[in-house]
């Protein structure tokens, strides 16, 4: 928590010195949820049912001037695994937490952003969410500093650039900490008032602090289209190619299961995705996503994901919504540079239904059911999870500038995202560690 205090002090200092005329507000959300599952960790031999109560508090500090906003978001939670299934994990309780500080400035011809963040999470459940397999132990601390800018060149063209530096450390001494340097640039050309052509280049350099000084360079040029075809239909898509080079200095080390094991070499492959969002009725919207991606895991290994997913959000009335999700993914895990014939492959399927209800102005509740299935060389495993959550939004100080009431669709998206975090949700999105 010392880091949170430090960031908060910096934040308050900025407010006092450079944002004295800003509108200041402090808001938050308190959440109490309970998950119950017959195989929470997707184990081949589960010990039994698992119950996970979780208490969470989110606080947001915001100061805004006509051209600049300063925002500090913090979160702290406590969870505990109960029941026979708690034997399937090494950490039976935990306190995930994090802070994120943002500065956003809008100029006549562009935008500027700076951000810094820190988060702590359970390593095993993070790996479970990314790969569908439960591996690792202890916690992972992630520190990130970055920024970006966007510049309007003409009425039709704009350039954007951003860069981030990430450091990850583990409480488990068997894991190797790493630094990750990522940068991307994009050029956007508006073909029409509703359609834009986007070309981009992403570069990621991973440096692992291990005995052999493992390093990996990841290149990803892409080109895509974004189009608002009608007021109800939006489509987007991109295609690109990934180039990976990895090397190390020193001699190879003994293999330790569940740790980063990089092999030297080079690999490449095409990636892409297509997204369709359609509002079929005033109260109903659907989306379809098809994706093919090569992404690193939190342990540093690469995984190749091909997935297709569909979401439906229906606003029943002014206080209730129903959200449905179905997703199928084919995942191949390999080394740090390639996917080989000896790599492990898995098929993952998930489906969920979430019902959200607004109890009062500041009170919300949700009930969700999620089914997960994984099929790999070890066999077929599945799980059913029921989640109940109660949330209270509150305002401690001031009023957020231009505050608007969240729509039922926006609240439904939040509830759906919360339900997806309960168990693995493999997606084909290019996200570096």
pLDDT at residue 398 is higher than 80:
yes
pLDDT tens for residues 191-250? 999 999 999 999 999 888 888 888 888 889 999 999 999 989 999 999 999 888 888 765
Q: Which pLDDT belongs to residue 146? A: 97
pLDDT tens for residues 250-267? 554 444 444 444 556 677
Q: Which pLDDT belongs to residue 415? A: 58
User: Of all residues in the chain, what percent carry a pLDDT higher than 90?
Assistant: 53
Average pLDDT over the chain, rounded to an integer: 82
Residue whose C-alpha is closest to residue 172's, from 75, 289, 85, 298? 298
pLDDT at residue 387 is higher than 90:
yes
Q: For residue 271, count other CB atoms closer than 10 A to its CB.
A: 21
pTM of the model: 0.80
Q: What is the DSSP string of 331-382?
A: EEE--SS---TTSEEEEEEEEEEEEEEE-SSSEEEEEEEEEEEEEETTEEEE
Residue 164 CA from chain centroid, whole number:
15
Helix, strand, coil fractions of the chain, as percent rounded to 5: 10, 60, 30
pLDDT tens for residues 121-174? 887 777 766 666 666 778 889 999 999 999 999 999 999 999 999 999 988 888
Q: Which pLDDT belongs to residue 131? A: 66
Q: What is the DSSP string of 16-37?
A: HHH-TTSEEEEEEEEEEEEEEE
User: For the residues 332-345, what does the mean pLDDT come to?
Assistant: 54
DSSP 90: S
Q: For residue 39, count other CB atoms closer than 10 A to its CB.
A: 22
User: Of all residues in the chain, what percent carry a pLDDT higher than 70?
Assistant: 78
**Domain map (residue ranges) of the chain:** 2-420
**CATH class label, 2-420:** mainly beta
């Amino acid at each position: 928590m010392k880091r949170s205090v430090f960031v908060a002090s910096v934040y308050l200092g900025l407010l006092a010195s450079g944002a004295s005329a800003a509108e200041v507000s402090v808001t938050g959300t308190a959440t109490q949820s309970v998950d119950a599952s017959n195989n929470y960790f997707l184990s081949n031999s589960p010990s039994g049912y698992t119950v996970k109560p979780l208490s969470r508090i989110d606080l947001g500090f915001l100061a805004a001037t006509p051209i600049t906003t300063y925002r500090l978001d913090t979160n702290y939670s406590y969870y505990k695994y109960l029941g026979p299934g708690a034997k399937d994990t090494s950490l039976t309780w935990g306190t995930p937490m994090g802070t994120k500080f943002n500065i956003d400035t809008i100029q006549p011809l562009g935008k500027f952003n700076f951000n810094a963040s820190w988060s702590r999470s359970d390593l095993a459940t993070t790996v479970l969410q990314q790969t569908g397999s439960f591996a690792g132990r202890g916690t992972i601390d992630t520190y990130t500093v970055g920024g970006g800018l966007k510049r309007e060149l003409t009425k039709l063209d704009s350039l954007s650039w951003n860069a981030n530096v990430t450091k990850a450390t583990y409480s488990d001494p068997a894991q190797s900490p790493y630094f990750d340097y990522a940068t991307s640039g994009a050029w956007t050309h508006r073909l029409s008032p509703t359609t834009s052509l986007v070309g981009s280049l992403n570069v990621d350099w991973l440096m692992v602090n291990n005995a052999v000084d493992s390093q990996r360079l990841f290149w990803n040029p892409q080109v895509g289209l974004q189009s608002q075809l009608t007021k109800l239909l939006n489509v987007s898509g991109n295609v690109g190619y990934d180039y990976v080079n990895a090397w190390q200095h020193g001699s190879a080390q003994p293999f330790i299961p569940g740790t980063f094991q990089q092999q030297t070499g080079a690999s490449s492959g095409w990636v892409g995705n297509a997204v369709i969002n359609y509002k079929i009725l005033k109260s109903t919207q659907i989306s379809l996503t098809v994706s093919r991606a090569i992404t690193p895991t939190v342990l540093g290994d690469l995984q190749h994901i091909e997935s297709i997913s569909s979401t439906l959000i229906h606003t029943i009335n002014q206080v209730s919504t129903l959200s449905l999700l179905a997703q199928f993914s084919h995942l191949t895990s390999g080394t740090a540079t390639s996917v080989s014939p000896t790599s492990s492959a898995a098929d993952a399927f998930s489906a969920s239904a979430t019902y959200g209800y607004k109890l009062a102005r500041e009170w919300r509740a949700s009930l969700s059911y999620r089914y997960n299935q994984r099929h790999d060389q070890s066999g077929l495993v599945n799980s059913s999870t029921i989640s109940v959550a109660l949330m209270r939004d509150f305002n401690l100080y001031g009023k957020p500038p231009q505050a608007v009431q969240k729509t039922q669709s926006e609240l439904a998206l939040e509830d759906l995202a919360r339900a997806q975090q309960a168990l693995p949700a493999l997606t084909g999105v290019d996200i570096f560690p």
